[in-house]
Each structure stands twice: as C-alpha cells, then as structure tokens.
Amino acid sequence: GENVEQHPSTLSVQEGDSAVIKCTYSDSASNYFPWYKQELGKRPQLIIDIRSNVGEKKDQRIAVTLNKTAKHFSLHITETQPEDSAVYFCAASRRTGTASKLTFGTGTRLQVTL
Amino acid sequence: DAEITQSPRHKITETGRQVTLACHQTWNHNNMFWYRQDLGHGLRLIHYSYGVQDTNKGEVSDGYSVSRSNTEDLPLTLESAASSQTSVYFCASSVTGNTEAFFGQGTRLTVV
C-alpha cells in the first residue's frame, strides 16, 4: 500500500518568514495530494490540494509543488502569521472509479513566533 | 447546513467492553472513513466504505469493525476495548474519489 513520509515533525519560524514542509510517497499511481491543517483541539481541514497533472498550485500565501518523478511534494507558506500555527498533514491517494482513500503523513507542528 | 457529526465527543470505558462510536453525515457522500490520531503516527485509516453494504479494512483494523446500512451512517465498533485503543477518532466523508474529505469533530476515547 501507499506510504507517505513527512518532514520535519516540528518547525519553528519567526512571523513573516517562510515555512516549507516536505513529503514523499511510495505509490507511483497516486494522483491526488491534499494538505490539511489542524488547529489545536479542532478537526483537520483542507487548505490546498494538487493533482498529478499539475506541477504547482498557489492560493494567496500558500503553494504546493509536486515532483512526480521524484515522488515528492511540498507545502510552502510565505509571510507566516501567528494564525498559521497548527499541525499540517500531507496525504496521497489514487482514484479508482469513484473510490479513493487518503494515506496521511505523520504531521508537522508549525509554530510561528512573534 | 449539511455536516458530519460524531458522538460521543468524549468517552471513558473499561478494558474488555464493547464500544460504538457514531458518525453521521448529511451530504449524501458515498465515501466514509474512520481514522485514529495518535502522537507521532498522524492519521491512520481504520476502516472505510464506498457505499451502502460496502466496507473495507484499513491499515489498523484489528479489533475494530464497521457496518454501512445506509448512506448517512458509519458506526465504528470496538469489539473488546483495549488500552492500546485509547486515541482520538475521526470520521470523514467525501463525495467521490480524489475530492476533499470533510472531517467530524472527533471522539476522544480513553480505555482504562
């Protein structure tokens, strides 16, 4: 089955700096890569996703890049703010008809300091 | 508004007891999933369903079971609770493959 590795496990940055979280996946047939943000005590929520036919996607201060050859994808957050502090999870899945299941990485705890 | 809800939010149970966690969604999503969240392990898939009467084992299914008798509900049963099953459990649903999964609020289960 799919295996997703995520690094680093913790990341501390100063407000205004950039943060990068990296993930690798094992199943070359995976074609959907979402990122979820989980604030303390809350449920995970999708912040951005990318499909295998695209190399990069941006949404305001966040961007995701995908390298299918190397089987890795990354989340980039620019101009970090205190409200970006949370745990971030990457995931991967491949679709078969209407079915797919997400395999998650182990998470990165991002702390944005003032 | 359509939503996905879990109950109870918190539960303490004794070793060996059977426990059922409820998950209900009103989006009419075909796909439903149960994950457990533990420090250092992220979100691990327990069981999942792609439609009524369909259930599948995930990577950590031992000691758990699910049933899907309708579109809205996927209850998770711990047949004989063990201390290793102390965790936070999340239910999720998605309309179809490779689309956003929406998570419930989570259930914190403690087995003593």
> How does pLDDT run across A3-41, given as a tens digit for each residue?
999 999 999 999 999 999 999 999 999 999 999 999 999
Of A94, A102, A106, the CB nearest to B41: A106
Do residues A44 and A104 make contact, with C-beta atoms less than 8 angstroms apart?
Answer: no
pLDDT above 80 for B1:
no
pLDDT band at B2 (very low <50, low <70, confident <90, very high): low
Query: Which one of A100, A103, A108, A109 makes the best mutation probe of the B interface by having the most chain B beta carbons within 10 Å?
Result: A100
pLDDT above 90 for B76:
yes
Cβ–Cβ contact A13 with B under 8 A: no
pLDDT band at A98 (very low <50, low <70, confident <90, very high): confident
pLDDT for A75 equals: 98
Query: Which one of A50, A101, A104, A106 makes the best mutation probe of the B interface by having the most chain B beta carbons within 10 Å?
Result: A101
pLDDT for B9 equals: 97
How confident is the model over A46-72, as pLDDT tens digits? Answer: 999 999 888 999 999 999 999 999 999
Searching chain A, which residue's CA lies closest to the CA of residue B49? A99
Q: Can you point out the beta strands (E) in B15-111?
A: 19-25, 31-38, 42-51, 54-57, 64-66, 76-78, 87-94, 102-103, 107-111
Ramachandran category for residue B46: left, alpha or beta (phi over 0 → left; psi -120 to 50 → alpha): alpha
Residue in the block written with tokens 């031992």: B62
Q: How far apart are CA B11 and CA A90, in angstroms?
A: 29
Token representation of residue A98: 């209407």
Q: How far apart are CA B89 and CA A100, in angstroms?
A: 20
Q: How far apart are CA B64 and CA B33, in angstroms?
A: 13
